[in-house]
C-alpha cells in the first residue's frame, strides 16, 4: 500500500514482508521465546517475591535485613546492567568445566531468565509486602490465638489473603516483566523484539516490523490482563473486602 505523506514520511508500506519468506515463522519463534522466557521468569520471580516479601514483614530483624538487602540491591540497578552481569560477569566465577557446559546449553536464554526473575522478584516482593501490611495486625494475632505457629499463620492465612489483595498490582508487575523481556536481545536472545529487528534487517522494512511487534506485545499484554481479571474473580473471598467496582475486561 503506497501511502506517501503519512506522518511526514515518504515511505511505501509493504505489509506482506511480515508473513512471506519465512518471516511469519520468525515472529512465531519470537513469540514462543518471549513467552517461555517470561513464564519461567514469572514463576521464579513470584517465588522469590513471596519469600522476600514475607520475610520483610516477619517479627525477626536479621531475616528482615536479609530480605531488605536483596530488594534494595536488585531493584535499584537497571535491568540492562543485570543482564550484562548475569551473561558476561557471573559465569566467569564458575570453574572452567561448568563454563564450557553452560556455553553448550544456551547461556543467553538462561542468563536472561535469571536476570529477569531476580530483578522482578525484588519488585514483586514489594507488592507482596504491601499486600501483607495492608492486612490488619489483628488477623495475625487471631490466627496465632487459634493455636497456629507464626509460620503456619503466614502460610495458611496471611499469604493467601495477601495474594488475593495484590492481584491488580501483581498484574502490573507481570506486564512489566513481559515487556522487559525484550531487553534480553542485548545479550543475544532471539525473542520477539529481536525477531522484528531481524525482519527489518532482511527486508529493510522497519515500520512494518515495528508495528507488528507493537501489536503482538499489545495482544499478549491484554491477554494477561484478561486472565488475571478472571483469576481475581475466581479467587475472591466473598464478604472479605468491600468492592467499589471490579476490574472491567
Residues that bind another protein (CB under 8 A): 4-11, 84, 87-88, 91-92, 99, 103, 107-108, 185-188, 190, 194, 197-198, 200-207, 210
Q: Is 2 helix (H, G, I), strand (E, B) or coil?
A: strand
- Shortest distance, position 204 Cβ to another protein, whole Å: 4
How far is residue 67's CA from residue 57's CA, in Å, rounded to a whole number? 9
- Shortest distance, position 187 Cβ to another protein, whole Å: 7
Between 4 and 138, CB nearer to another protein: 4
Between 149 and 214, CB nearer to another protein: 214
Between 61 and 105, CB nearer to another protein: 105
Q: How many CB atoms lie within 10 A of CB 198?
A: 18
Question: Which three three-digit cell numbers place residue 128?
Answer: 507482596
Between 125 and 193, CB nearer to another protein: 193
How far is residue 54's CA from residue 126's CA, in Å, rounded to a whole number? 10
- Shortest distance, position 87 Cβ to another protein, whole Å: 7
Between 73 and 101, CB nearer to another protein: 101
DSSP line for 145-191: HTT--HHHHIIIIIHHHHHHHTHHHHHHHHHHHHHHGGGGGGGT---
Residue 12 bridge partners (DSSP)? 2
Between 40 and 207, CB nearer to another protein: 207
Question: Which three three-digit cell numbers place residue 4?
Answer: 506517501
- Shortest distance, position 73 Cβ to another protein, whole Å: 23
- Shortest distance, position 49 Cβ to another protein, whole Å: 29
Between 170 and 187, CB nearer to another protein: 187
Which residues 6+ apart lie within 8 Å of 109 measured at CB?
A: 33, 37, 184, 189
- Shortest distance, position 9 Cβ to another protein, whole Å: 5
Residue 36 burial (10 A CB sphere; 0-12, 13-18, 19+): middle
CA count, 13 A, side-chain hemisphere, 200: 14
- Shortest distance, position 217 Cβ to another protein, whole Å: 17
How far is residue 110's CA from residue 64's CA, in Å, rounded to a whole number? 29
Q: What is the sign of the dihedral through the CA atoms of 102, 199, 177 and 122? A: positive
Amino acid at each position: 500500500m503506497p501511502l506517501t505523506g503519512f506522518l511526514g514520511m515518504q515511505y511505501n508500506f509493504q505489509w506482506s514482508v511480515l508473513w512471506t519468506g519465512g518471516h511469519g515463522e520468525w515472529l512465531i519463534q519470537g513469540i514462543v521465546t518471549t513467552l517461555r522466557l517470561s513464564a519461567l521468569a514469572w514463576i521464579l520471580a513470584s517465588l522469590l517475591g513471596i519469600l522476600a516479601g514475607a520475610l520483610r514483614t516477619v517479627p525477626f530483624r536479621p531475616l528482615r535485613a536479609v530480605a531488605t538487602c536483596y530488594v534494595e540491591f536488585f531493584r535499584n540497578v537497571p535491568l540492562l546492567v543485570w543482564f550484562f552481569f548475569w551473561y558476561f560477569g557471573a559465569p566467569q566465577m564458575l570453574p572452567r568445566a561448568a563454563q564450557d557446559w553452560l556455553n553448550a546449553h544456551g547461556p543467553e536464554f538462561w542468563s536472561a531468565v535469571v536476570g529477569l526473575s531476580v530483578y522482578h522478584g525484588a519488585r514483586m516482593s514489594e507488592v507482596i509486602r504491601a499486600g501483607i501490611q495492608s492486612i490488619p495486625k489483628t488477623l495475625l494475632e487471631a490466627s496465632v490465638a487459634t493455636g497456629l505457629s507464626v509460620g503456619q499463620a503466614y502460610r495458611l492465612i496471611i499469604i493467601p489473603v495477601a495474594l488475593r489483595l495484590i492481584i491488580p498490582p501483581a498484574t502490573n508487575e507481570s506486564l512489566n516483566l513481559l515487556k522487559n523481556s525484550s531487553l534480553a536481545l542485548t545479550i543475544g536472545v532471539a525473542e520477539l523484539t529481536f525477531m522484528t529487528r531481524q525482519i527489518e534487517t532482511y527486508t529493510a522494512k522497519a515500520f512494518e516490523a515495528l508495528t507488528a511487534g507493537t501489536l503482538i506485545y499489545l495482544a499478549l499484554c491484554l491477554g494477561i490482563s484478561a486472565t488475571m481479571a478472571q483469576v481475581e474473580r475466581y479467587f475472591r473471598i466473598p464478604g472479605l473486602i468491600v468492592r467499589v467496582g471490579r476490574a472491567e475486561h
